[in-house]
Amino acid sequence: MTREFFADRLDVKAFAQARGQLSGHDSLLKYKRLAQVAPKLRPELYVDWHAAGEVRDRLGASAQIWLRLQAQAQCPAVCQRCMQPMDVPLKVDRWFRFVADEAAAEAQDDESEEDLLVLSREFALNELVEDELLLDMPLVPRHERCPVAVKMSAGEEEIAQEPGRSGNPFAALADFKPHGHKK
């Protein structure tokens, strides 16, 4: 008999021992924290996620419980360069190792490259999906290529100018000086 697993209360150890797999195709509207960050969520936007559990036996030590989470979604945002709406592609692919308790997580955190989580019989996998999507959100979303010509303000133009292209930032200004000022 195959055991049923639930994304909102996952028995992580049993899931790993069974080499369990869970996946979901959820409307992003279901993710309340994400909806706060991205108020323009549309009902047709979905996240596809997949989780797989695994027990790794180790020689002379206790077995480790691992979970791999993969997720992808498109999340609406406003491009900070052209200020047009855009969909930011989010992509998650991470391994997590589960430890017995908070103390073990703290003790091992420094020496572990992987992310540590505390083992639970009712682990909120759906919260982890949301956490990871939020972490993948860019702080300053921008098109790779903006669909419209970007009008930059004077301040941004100075920043955008490559250093060294004109050694003196005022050289360009000099060209605009009315000729009447020349002696």
Using the minimum distance from each CB to Zn ion, give the nearer residue, 38 or 129. 38
Shortest Cβ distance from residue 138 to Zn ion (Å)?
A: 12
Shortest Cβ distance from residue 141 to Zn ion (Å)?
A: 9
Shortest Cβ distance from residue 80 to Zn ion (Å)?
A: 8
Using the minimum distance from each CB to Zn ion, give the nearer residue, 124 or 146. 146
SS (H, E, C) the chain: CCCCCCCCCECHHHHHHCCCEEEEEEEHHHCHHHHHHCCCCCCCCEEEEEEEEEEEEECCEEEEEEEEEEEEEEEEEECCCCCCEEEEEEEEEEEEEEECCHHHHHHHHCCCCCEEEECCCCECHHHHHHHHHHHHCCCCCCCCCCCCCCCCCHHHHHHHCCCCCCCCCCHHHHHCCCHHHCC
From residue 128, give the alpha-carbon distance in Å to each of 113, 123, 166: 18, 9, 49
Using the minimum distance from each CB to Zn ion, give the nearer residue, 118 or 146. 146
In the complex, which residues of this chain contact Zn ion (CB under 5 A)? Answer: 79, 81-82, 143, 146
Shortest Cβ distance from residue 146 to Zn ion (Å)?
A: 3
Using the minimum distance from each CB to Zn ion, give the nearer residue, 137 or 146. 146
Using the minimum distance from each CB to Zn ion, give the nearer residue, 24 or 76. 76
Shortest Cβ distance from residue 25 to Zn ion (Å)?
A: 29
